[in-house]
Chains A and B, each alone.
Chain A
Amino acid sequence: GENVEQHPSTLSVQEGDSAVIKCTYSDSASNYFPWYKQELGKGPQLIIDIRSNVGEKKDQRIAVTLNKTAKHFSLHITETQPEDSAVYFCAASIRSGYALNFGKGTSLLVTP
């Protein structure tokens, strides 16, 4: 089955700096790659996603890049703010409507 690796497990940045989280996946058939943000005591919330026919996608301060040849994708957060502090999960899915395979998460701390 699909195996998703996520790095780093923890990340601490100063407010205003950029944060980058990287994920790799094993199944070349994977074609959908969402990123979720999970705050303490809450369920995961989708923040951005990318499909295999797109190399990059941006939404305000958040961007995701995908390299299908290398089987890795990354989340970039610019101008970080304290409210960006949370656990971020990458995921991959091999087919439309199928369940997601999640990475182990990255705990991001943005200090003022």
Chain B
Amino acid sequence: EAGVAQSPRYKIIEKRQSVAFWCNPISGHATLYWYQQILGQGPKLLIQFQNNGVVDDSQLPKDRFSAERLKGVDSTLKIQPAKLEDSAVYLCASSHRTSGGNQETQYFGPGTRLLVL
């Protein structure tokens, strides 16, 4: 089974520029998450999708961050304009409900490392 794919793996931009990240979840996984991981910290949720609908975007800085999952499969996360404090690893994860209805195990991609100069 292929894992969660993300691209690019690394990105360096200057502040005020825009950047986009792409995620392809594990096949069949209806739930997709974007997390931000700042150096030395644990991942923090930015947005959660169920199919192509948003479940939780309460921690997404909506003045500069946007995300979409138009067809319920791939997703893109965009930052415009970027700030220095956006330097972080952006992780995509996906999950599906187990047969018993228990908590869905989240599988993470390798992440995109963003450096804003």
Contacts and interface: CB of A to CB of B under 8 A. Distances in A.
8 contacts: A46-B107, A91-B42, A97-B31, A98-B48, A99-B56, A100-B45, A100-B106, A102-B43
A102 to B, nearest CB: 3
Given A51-B103, A96-B97, A102-B43, A45 B56 contact: no
Given A34-B105, A46-B107, A96-B101, A105 B42 contact: yes
Contacts of A44: 43, 91, 108
B104 interface: yes
By CB atoms of chain B within 10 A, which of A45, A89, A97, A102 has the most?
Answer: A97
Interface of B: 4, 31, 33, 40-45, 48, 50, 55-56, 91, 93, 95, 97, 101-111
Nearest to A42: B110
A93 B108 contact: no
Interface residues of A, number: 26
A112 interface: no
A46 B102 CA distance: 16
Contact of B104 (A41, A97, A103, A104): A97
A43 B102 contact: no
A96 B103 contact: yes
A57 B114 CA distance: 37
A51 B102 contact: yes
A96 B102 contact: yes
By CB atoms of chain A within 10 A, which of B31, B50, B102 has the most?
Answer: B102
Given A43-B91, A97-B50, 7 more contacts: A34-B106, A36-B108, A43-B4, A43-B109, A44-B108, A46-B106, A99-B56
